[in-house]
Every structure is written in C-alpha cells, then in structure tokens.
Structure 1
Amino acid sequence: MMATNSAPTLSLSGARTALAAAEARASRIGVPMNIAVVDSSCHLLAFSRMDGAKITSINIAIDKAFTAAGHRAPTSVYKEAVWPGGAAFGIWNSNGGRFMTIAGGVPVVDKEGRVVGAIGCSTGTPAQDEDVAKAGKEAVECSIAGETMTVKAKL
C-alpha cells in the first residue's frame, strides 16, 4: 500500500498557453478580461489583467478558477441550483466565500480525464467569460494532446 499519491498538475508553461489563447479570444470578441489559471490544487499559477478589464473582477476570475479546479466542474453548472430552494443554495458561502456560481470558470483535463487545473475569466457577461475561459482550456488541452495546430484555427 502506498502512503502517498502523485497527481498530475498543470505547469506554468501550460498556464501561459491558456492565458495566451484566452487573451486572444477576449481581444477577438472585444471584451478585455481578467484571466486566472490555477493548478490542480487550486493554487494560482498565472494571471493577466488585460487593459480595460474591470478591477472589481480580479478576485472573481481567481475564485472562478479556484472553484472549477477544486470542485472539478465548470462554475456554470450551478446556475439553476443556487436559487432559494435549490440543491446548492448557499454554496457561495463555502470556502471562505470563494465558491463562485457564475459562469466563467472551467477545469482543464489531461488525456486521462483528470483535472490538472482550471481557468477563470471575468469582466464580460457570464457567457462571454465562459467563452474566453473555454478558449484557454481548449488551447492547453490541445497542447497536452500534442495538437497545437488545431488551437490556432479555433481562435
């Protein structure tokens, strides 16, 4: 029996790949973003505040990435469950108030489907934030799979 486990996690290089793709997508849709990338343990690896991104969205982006990595699910899954009477009502109070229930945080997974990190974006609408986060997620997942040329076509 092993006393420890070794878990794959996103590297700084992977985080930079995610940031670059997310910034490119945000520029393309004309919405400057705060973009945060965390590793599988929810620790911040990289952050970018694009010129014009809302200052009040800095922590929101970081917390979206934290939630997506820690809960191993996109933050958008909570949309219907967090209203009064919903199964997850009040969950935003967990983790010191860091648990985000607004779209824009998505986990990054490796070839085996393990969450290795997450990306969180904030400044636009929830749909815009999620769109930009997904661009970063797809870029790093393509990089993990060795499909870097596919990434450029999606941006």
Structure 2
Amino acid sequence: MLTRPAIKLTHRGATLLLAAAVEAAEAMGVPQCIAVVDDGCNLMGFIRMDGSRVLSVESATRKAMTAATTGRPTGGISPDKALLLAEATSGKMTNLLGGLPLIIDGHIVGGIGVGSGTSEQDLQVAQAAVAAFLKRMDEGQHS
C-alpha cells in the first residue's frame, strides 16, 4: 500500500476544544493558556485567558506539541533517550503535566496543552476539553 487514510483535526474541532477548556477553567476559577495543534504540530487555536501567566503561553504550546508528537499525555513520559534527544535538538517538547494527545480511531490528530494553573489543574482542564471533543465525536458530529 502506498497511501493511508487520514483523519484530520478541523478548525471546528480546535474551536470546540478551546471552548470546553475555557469553560472548565472558568468553573475552576483558574485562568489558563490553552493551545491546540494538529498532527503536524501546527498551531490550530490558542487562547490566553485574562489573568493567566504570560510565560505559560510557551509551555501550553509545547505541551500540545509534545502530546501530538508522542501520542502520550505529558508529565508521565519516561525520560527515554529519544525524548531527551528530541528536546535537546528541537527545544519544542516538554514533560510537564497538562498536554494530551487527540486520538481518533487509532490516529493521532493533534494535541491540546494547558498551562498557568497547578500541574493538576492544567491536566483537569485538558481532560475536560478532550472529553467534550470525544463526546461530540461519539455523537456522530464529526463536522
């Protein structure tokens, strides 16, 4: 086989993820920086909520990119040689909690990264966003 089917994250999917993350962050009372990337680590959506830490802009984006690249949640990735090499050469990866991959039918379609709260708060916001995204997918609302 010379080609394979691909499932791609759309701007509507990125917008849904951002909205769900903002809703979760507001409910917690914790302003966040939220980044959504596609499977190629291209930024699809970003929001810096009022009151969030400006330095979290970069960490949220790196969390999203790391999750999309590795297909694993950030914060629990074992420090294997490949991850360390990628971090050293690209400077675009991180292993802080708050990054989750977006996986549909076994295909990594992107990642979300959240930063500005505690590590646990960042992860909770990311989890809420991914749960809303997967619920919409399960409901058959793919567009």
TM-score (norm 1): 0.82
Is the contact between residue 33 and residue 123 of structure 1 (CA under 8 Å) also seen in structure 2? yes
Q: Deviations over 1:105-151 (max 9, x none)?
A: 001121x2322111100001111101001111111111111178xxx
Cα pair distance change 1:132/1:147, threshold 3 Å: farther
Gaps of 5+ in 2: none
Distance in 1 separating the partners of 2:135 and 2:106: 13
User: Is residue 8–residue 40 contact of structure 1 (8 Å, CA) maintained in 2?
Assistant: no
Change in Cα spacing, 1:90 to 1:12, as seen in structure 2 (3 Å) is closer
Matches within 5 A, 1:3-152: 4-78=3-77, 81-82=78-79, 87=80, 91=84, 93-110=87-104, 112-146=105-139
Q: Partner of 1:115: helix, strand, or coil?
A: strand
CA displacement at 1:61 relative to structure 2: 0.4
Deviation at 1:40, TM superposition (A): 1.3
Does the aligned pair in 2 maintain the 1:109–1:141 contact within 8 Å? no
| Identity fraction in percent | 37
Cα deviation, residue 66, structure 1: 0.3
Between the aligned partners of 1:117 and 1:89, the Cα distance in structure 2 is 20
* Equivalent residues of 2:65, 2:111 under 8 A apart: yes
Deviation at 1:93, TM superposition (A): 2.9
- How many Å separate the matches in 1 of 2:82 and 2:10? 34
User: In 1, Cα distance between the equivalents of 2:82 and 2:7?
Assistant: 32
What is the DSSP-based 3-state SS (H/G/I as helix, E as strand, rest coil) of the residue aligned with 1:93?
helix
Larger C-alpha radius of gyration, 1 or 2?
1
Task: Specify the code of the residue in structure 2 equivalent to 1:102.
Answer: L
Q: Displacement, 1:5?
A: 3.3
